[in-house]
Amino acid sequence: MSNVLISEVGPRDGLQNCKSIMPTALKLRWIEAAAKAGLREVEVGSFVNPKLLPQVADTAEVVAGARHIDGLEIAVLVPNIRGAKAAVESGAHKMTLPLSVSETHSIKNVNRTHPQMLDEARAIMALLAEIDADNRPHFEVSLSTLFGCTIEGTVSEKKIATLTEELTAIGVDEIGLSDTTGYANPVSVRQMISLTRSIAGDGKINGIHLHNTRGLGLANALAAFEEGLTTFDSSLGGLGGCPTAPGASGNIVTEDLVYMFEAMGVSTGVDIDGLLECRKIVEAALPDEELFGFIPEAGRPLGATY
């Protein structure tokens, strides 16, 4: 039994920021190795316009190849109802719609204003209402640029509160907290969890997506864990960023995040050696990409039992 869920987003958030395109078969090898290492959720791609992000053009094939891996939840990103329909057809278990608190970023990222994105969320809820509960994917809306925007700067708490209220009224399954730009700090993490939970209720706010742009990724994860969050997005080797948020760099590193929790005695269900095997696959597949992380170099402390 794990105390926290590590959601590997490398095949989506990582690869969409790489110049090269990873072949479908290699993505599946990575996802299989991730599952073998004990990861129980992997975000495998995005149902976006393949012309804009050719790196994830094979998302439907990847979902088809990965969804039967035992015990693995297959997550995808969807920018709108069209993507959500494709996600449902693919058989993905979870889909995430990004709702950027910075409306400027929302327009740049998905070409939609806040009212338009809330309409997309409503349309997705209507789509899901027509599907059997057993086959219906879990639907999360992620509040991106929640901690600030590289274009707008500070985002207002009032806007965050309003969007959280709207999403709660729409009835989405879960509201995610996303530090797209690496602007969060441990105090703002605690504040945002408290603010959004006070509106949406504890059960709707479980996960956080952190970037390590300013080196605070693990400190932020610690603060979020201590506030009671249980799902943490991260990417193997810290691959990632945001193509439409200038200066946004990689996600928190799965290897280091798992190490932090395991060292603290918090079970992740993930085996560090298994992650290092995964890393070899990705290193070989992406020779031009820099992989980050401390644990792959330093190893575990002498005498560690995890």
- Residues binding its own copies (CB under 8 A): 148-154, 181-183, 185-188, 212-216, 218-219, 221-223, 247, 249, 253, 256, 259-260, 263-265, 293-295, 298-299, 301-303
The CA distance from 110 to 83, in Å, is: 12
Burial of 133 per CB tally in 10 Å (0-12, 13-18, 19+):
exposed
Of the listed 18, 149, 242, 278, which one is catalytic? 242
Tell me if 42 sits within 8 A of 63, measured CB to CB: no
Query: Which residue, 97, 95, 90, is CA-closest to 66?
Result: 90
**Which CB sits closer to its own copies, 167 or 258?**
258
The reply to whether 149 belongs to the active site is: no
Helices 24-36 and 272-285, axial angle in degrees (round to 10): 170
Tell me if 121 sits within 8 A of 97, measured CB to CB: yes
Closest separation between CB of residue 140 and its own copies, Å?
A: 25
**Which CB sits closer to its own copies, 74 or 258?**
258
**Which CB sits closer to its own copies, 33 or 223?**
223
**Which CB sits closer to its own copies, 243 or 301?**
301
Closest separation between CB of residue 183 and its own copies, Å?
A: 4
Cα→Cα distances 207→147, 195, 202, Å: 15, 14, 11
Closest separation between CB of residue 298 and its own copies, Å?
A: 5
Closest separation between CB of residue 151 and its own copies, Å?
A: 8
Q: Give the residues across from 164 on adjacent strands.
A: none
Question: Residue for token digits 């992620």?
Answer: 142
* Positions marked active-site: 242
